[in-house]
Structure 1
Amino acid sequence: MAKFVLAQAGSEATRPTFWKIGHIGEAIFYYLAAVAIAIFAVGVYQRFSTYAQGTESWFDRLDDLSGRIASATKIVFSNQKQFDRDLYAGLMHAFVFWGFLTLLIGTTILAIDMDIWTKALGQPSFFEGAFYLSYSLVMDAMGLLFVVGVGMAIYRRYWVAEGRLWGKHTSTEDDLFVWSLFLLGVGGYVTEGVRILGTSATRNVSFETVSFVGWFVYDVLAVAGVTPEMATAAYPVVWWSHALLALAFVAAVPYAKPFHMISSFANVVTRDEKAGKRLPGVPDDASPEEIGHGSIEDFSWKELLDHDACTKCGRCSSVCPAKAADRPLDPRDVILDLKQYREDLEAGRTEEKPIVADGGASVINSETMESCMSCMACMDACPVEIEHVEQFTQMNRRLTESGQMDANVQDTMMNVFQNGNTFGEPQRKRPDWADELDFEIPDAREQSVEYLWYVGDYPSFDERNRKVARSLATILEESGVEYGILYDDEQADGNDVRRVGEEGLYEMLVEDNAEAIRSCDYDKIVCTDPHSYNTFKNEYPEFEVCEWTEDDVFHYTQVVEDLFRELGLSGSELDYTVTYHDPCHLGRYNDEYEAPREIVKATGCELDEMPRNREDSFCCGGGGGGLWMDFDEDPKPSEERLREALNDTDSGSRVEKFVVACPMCMTMYEDGRKTGGYEDDIEIVDVSELLVEAIGRKEQVEVAAD
């Protein structure tokens, strides 16, 4: 058979175009194609003209455009984001994407041959012989992949009824999209099979076996009793059905869900590599009513593009800890609520109303925004790089400026404003945690140091976290490195102050902390808290008052790992079975996963990983101001995480210690241990506390704590 097919690789190995359609039908097709393309072009223009009405983005989104396009192409063509957390969905999307792209390229090649190469240029068709055989094989193979992928989508959506695919914004549009794709794929093969059967009456079609799916359809039709004459009579109906559906799909792309094929790529191209890690500022001349997003006109063009790029896949919803805890937040719904409101407003279907407010007379309710933990799980899971946290923060700013901030958060902000810390304690008490140590903490304001240690609010004022501060101080002292702290010149870092919407207060903290640090002679800044680490590393350097760069800032685990290795700190090995929780601001925000693990392993502990670890880690519930609010949650994120440690790890109930590297996580999990009834089952410890015990200094730290 192979020899025969190769022998047919001459002028006979081709297929008739517009077979049985006729010249009038051909003219009608070209007319309809022109109309479809015109509708498509107008729709795309209208979409992008809408983005042009948005405000300027705070960050440059179009710098190094060629590099951005290359990077986006790699992300999109590899389908790497689709494979994250969901192999089935990754394979499904890859099949659909590559199959659809191949069919689109194949159709374009056919159009070039028919309309440009032969008709316009008068050249003999290249759509024959070996080229045609290769073309047919590739198109059938990739088209089959496309149909399989769409079939997988239909199976998961309707048979399995995957929960995350359904929500308040699920509509007929979604059904039409997936079924149109399926009918386009299957219809192409039916058209091919009918054509092969119909033309078999007048020519040898054995070379068409390379079109193995079309040949299969041909065989099925023949077995079913369909004659070549019947196929010939049916072909125009089959062809027109397929052609009209294809043209209608093209025309509908800018007006419905298929537009994500364009908007998603544009969204990936214009993404901010530090999205969420850093937030947009506020113009110096902005009046209070101009701060935050109060109307649709306040959204930037990139944020409007975010809305259109959403595919309703629900990945963000499925990983959101606020939604899992039954808080009133679904990140997908927020994005789609904003999109629907904009479209309804443009169409005159609704009246203008506030974007966010306390009560039901707004697009988004204030409790929804207050529920966000700023953990960035939604952004990490989003395959099209939607930047949820930036928009959520802008809405929180509007709540703040309009006096609708949560009462507990408002009290905390007042503490920060009046005392420079979230606890409302006098600043003179900030270094009291070190009073009982058997050595004196150097003052970085008075001597040169290698490590300027920013201790942070919770290690300074929270009794449980003071033990963490003493442990880290002991490690630094034992290592012999030159380090020091700012004593009472240290202010709250402001990371979460900014994320609850208090931009003015945040900028004041930046100025105060930067001024204190600028007066010191140091090489590196080391932070106890990942929240401090994030804002010092990614946000402070954007202010002119700061003289350091992101390369000068470290989390303590990064420093201690190096000290442990270089200075050979060692002692008795520990034999605990432990699990480690990745803090959002250390892991997902800043990609540091290994330093804490290396320290834990070096102490001799058996480390059993949580099922959700590294970038897939589950938030403790304290971020985004959550530590300062009271929510009606079931279950609390901290309780769910401890349950996971004891029930879902390989070691299960043998896990003795739940290891953290964040003071806020320590606070949340100590609370979850009590409220969840886990006090007798597991102990919460910081990485530094494990290491202090390993080097034989635990007793001294505990004596100082007492």
Structure 2
Amino acid sequence: MAILAAAAGSPTRETFRGISGVEELLFYYLAAVAVVVLAYGVYARFARYAEGVEDPIPRLDDLGERTVEAARIALSNESQFNRDLYGGLMHAFIMWGFLTLLIATTILAVDLEVWQLLLGRNSFWVGDFYLGYQFVVDAMGLLFVVGIGMALYRRYWVRKDRLWGRHTSREDTLFVWVLFALGVGGFVLEGLRILATGYPPFEVVSFVGWGTALAFEAAGVTPDLADSLHWWAWWSHSLLALAFVAWIPYAKPFHMLSSFANVVVRDEHSGARLPGIPADLEATSAESIDDFTWSELLDQDACTKCGRCSSVCPAKAAGRPLDPRDVILDLKGYREQRADDGGEQPIVADGGSSVIDAETMESCLSCLACVDSCPVEIDHLNSFTRLNRQLVDQGDIDPGVQDVFQNVMQDGNTFGNSQRSRADWADSLEFDLTDAREQEVEYLWYVGDYPSYDDRNRKVARSLARIFDAADVSVGILFEEEKYDGNDVRRLGEEFLFLELAGHHVESFEACEFETLVCTDPHSYNTFENEYTEVDFATWADDPMMPFDYDEQWNRDGEIEVLHWTQAVEDLVSEGRLDLAGDELDYTVTYHDPCHLGRYNDEYEAPRELIRATGCELVEMPRNRANSFCCGGGGGGLWMEFDDDPKPSEERLREAIEDTASGVEKFVVACPMCTTMFEDGRKTGGFEEDVEIVDVAELLVEAIDRDAA
């Protein structure tokens, strides 16, 4: 560049080449109008959020750090690359190219309006700066056009399924083609200028424009014709750019702002903890769109219709009437429609007259796959839970779920069995379990409903008890004082029942002396670790309907360690408290990541380390860790009947048998709900002769027994 600059003297170009003074003033007038329209539209959009209900979860604390982190996430495109290399590259090219062109335009405006006009100085847009500027703009502009081309190819040639749906509209088409026209139009304008000015040698740094000029010349365009066409190209490009600027707040381009804002205010514990309800008993959940929080309204505007959430949703894959994207966009569409015509419509109900149908929400498995896959941090589960709470308020509840609610209210467990029989699973053990209510223990073991009452999962509970005994750990349980943890009834919308259970358990925990709370079920682990700690019990302690007196925030500072049993036992193995040589078993196995342990709490390695400690060969399924496919039991799925084809559990088992390395003998799980769902799917899917369902605890006990033998 330095050689070119020296040879050419002081390279630069005229910004308003061929444009008269009157036309230049007209351009500035139109630019001012476009900016005013943009500013008003952005203000109006964000003013709507201010009308939303206050969010109970802090989202604006440490705003500076949040913004810096959001900028890192956005600029790195890390979310876009998640499970989709093509999509990540495509979005990165478009975003980096667009930002570069925006910065380049801003630099030019500063040079013209500030540096020269206001400060009266000579232009800095000359010499080496100009050469570097032109090279970068051409390089990144080309990247931008390539990215748009990739988008057009994927959308219209490949017709990728997740990009199409009932919310796909003409504005989506217009958006992508306007961007393409802006990118290509800039190079057309540059090529005409270079040809019309006789190929100034220094303009070779504008390599795309230079090539475009050569292409025009080869097509028979003379310098004089190029000079005439340049005026038309300049105004066409400028008017399209200004129209795009003015259009941003009123259509899909607004996601460039709303999506970034949504990343800034994201909840890092989204889904793992749910926002509570106000103590005001007159408050409604989703009786009106006005009940939604400002962050939920922002979620609706941030949706880009990319369909990533739709493509990973196990309910949608099973043929249920749930598409996470459609729920968010249906709410947005109704909000905008109501703003236009003022008509009121039920938000969610059992029937066809509401914005969202009850069956749609009943389909959700609360697996968090939609939240995890969303590149703009939409909290689908918060809105879904709000809708479920409204269904509970209205009494629009699935009969199977209603029975479970009744069982928990009357008997303290989801089975409707006597609490006195809760610890009967331990009767066949060769040792007695300690009553944690009467004796200090190292581990307070919350066994859970399914390990306590379900015959298949009782075997898992006994295996885990034997593991603790072999490790000589001081463990105690609550016996009949233990009730259902409340995780899934909360996600089904029964917040008051969840609060009753939470209050009961924290009082029970406080009455015991222990160091660590250990859970069999990942659902219990999640709700104790992330949700009980968020409940403001003082708000509810004086409520005569709440059967507890506890009035503090439990474990707010994490003084009590909460662990899933695999985490606790992994520590015991690493400490050498279990006598395992690491070669006891020689099975070839695969492992299924439970949603509440994996996506919810980012624990992937503890179960795998325990499997390896037995000597088993562990092979991974194609979908593993954060990309694991739900068993179908979460969000109340265990208690409802669906006409799935195939069932999520059947699809997962098929993947383990057909899509994983051959010879898998055992399908290993670490969640009682998963055990139940996969045992069922093994029968209904015809896989009984192909694979065995085992819990990690059962593998460990077998290894311990073999080592002892």
TM-score tier by shorter-chain length is over 0.9
| Cα pair 1:9 1:130 within 8 Å, conserved | no
Structure 2 partner of 1:587: 598
Q: Deviations over 1:343-399 (max 9, x none)?
A: 011011x72111000001100000000100000000000000000001100100000
Structure 2 partner of 1:120: 118
Structure 1 partner of 2:263: 268
Q: Deviations over 1:602-640 (max 9, x none)?
A: 101110101000000000000000000001111100000
Q: 1:447 aligns with which of 431, 436, 439?
A: 439
Matched, 1:602 2:600: no
Structure 1 partner of 2:335: 342
Distance 1:414 1:530, change over 3 A: same
Matched, 1:217 2:212: yes
Between the aligned partners of 2:445 and 2:81, the Cα distance in structure 1 is 40
Amino acid at match of 2:508: A
Structure 1 partner of 2:244: 249
Between the aligned partners of 1:66 and 1:442, the Cα distance in structure 2 is 50
Matched, 1:351 2:340: no
List structure 1 segments (4+ residues) > 3 angstroms apart after TM superposition. 544-547, 697-700
Amino acid at match of 1:439: F
1:121 CA displacement: 1.1
RMSD: 1.3
Matched, 1:378 2:370: yes
Between the aligned partners of 1:435 and 1:24, the Cα distance in structure 2 is 95
| Cα pair 2:470 2:578 within 8 Å, conserved | no
Q: Deviations over 1:118-162 (max 9, x none)?
A: 011110000010000000000000000000000000000000000
Alignment of structure 1 residues 269-288 onto 2, 5 Å? 269-287=264-282
Matched, 1:521 2:513: yes
Alignment of structure 1 residues 605-624 onto 2, 5 Å? 605-624=616-635
Task: Name the SS for the 1:119 alignment partner.
Answer: helix
Between the aligned partners of 1:293 and 1:280, the Cα distance in structure 2 is 14
Between the aligned partners of 1:4 and 1:531, the Cα distance in structure 2 is 67
Structure 1 partner of 2:464: 472
Between the aligned partners of 1:625 and 1:452, the Cα distance in structure 2 is 26
How many percent identity over aligned positions? 65
Matched, 1:553 2:546: no
Task: Name the SS for the 1:696 alignment partner.
Answer: helix
Between the aligned partners of 2:170 and 2:336, the Cα distance in structure 1 is 17
Alignment of structure 1 residues 291-690 onto 2, 5 Å? 291-348=284-341, 351-543=343-535, 544=537, 545=550, 547-549=554-556, 550=558, 552-566=561-575, 567-570=577-580, 573-651=584-662, 654-690=663-699
Between the aligned partners of 1:609 and 1:506, the Cα distance in structure 2 is 36
Amino acid at match of 1:75: I
Matched, 1:231 2:226: yes
| Cα pair 1:689 1:698 within 8 Å, conserved | no
| Cα pair 2:448 2:519 within 8 Å, conserved | yes
Amino acid at match of 1:243: S
Q: Deviations over 1:448-498 (max 9, x none)?
A: 111110000000000000000000000001101111111110010000010
Structure 2 partner of 1:54: 52
Task: Name the SS for the 1:167 alignment partner.
Answer: coil
1:4 CA displacement: 4.7
Between the aligned partners of 2:294 and 2:600, the Cα distance in structure 1 is 24
Amino acid at match of 1:74: R
1:547 CA displacement: 3.3
Between the aligned partners of 2:8 and 2:241, the Cα distance in structure 1 is 30
Task: Name the SS for the 1:473 alignment partner.
Answer: helix
Between the aligned partners of 1:135 and 1:128, the Cα distance in structure 2 is 9
Structure 2 partner of 1:7: 6
Deviates more, 1:277-286 or 1:158-167: 277-286
| Cα pair 2:8 2:201 within 8 Å, conserved | no
Amino acid at match of 1:207: F
Structure 1 partner of 2:542: none
Matched, 1:98 2:126: no
| Cα pair 1:9 1:133 within 8 Å, conserved | no
Between the aligned partners of 1:188 and 1:59, the Cα distance in structure 2 is 45
Alignment of structure 1 residues 37-52 onto 2, 5 Å? 37-52=35-50
TM-score by length of 1: 0.96
Between the aligned partners of 1:395 and 1:217, the Cα distance in structure 2 is 55
Deviates more, 1:243-252 or 1:550-559: 550-559
Structure 2 partner of 1:140: 138
1:8 CA displacement: 3.7
Task: Name the SS for the 1:26 alignment partner.
Answer: helix
Task: Name the SS for the 2:27 alignment partner.
Answer: helix
Between the aligned partners of 2:611 and 2:687, the Cα distance in structure 1 is 22
Between the aligned partners of 1:699 and 1:360, the Cα distance in structure 2 is 63
Task: Name the SS for the 2:434 alignment partner.
Answer: coil
1:7 CA displacement: 1.6
Distance 1:325 1:296, change over 3 A: same
| Cα pair 2:584 2:707 within 8 Å, conserved | no
| Cα pair 1:493 1:535 within 8 Å, conserved | yes
Amino acid at match of 1:229: D
Task: Name the SS for the 2:606 alignment partner.
Answer: helix
Task: Name the SS for the 2:705 alignment partner.
Answer: coil
Q: Which 5+ residue runs of structure 1 have no aligned equivalent? A: 701-706
| Cα pair 2:284 2:291 within 8 Å, conserved | no
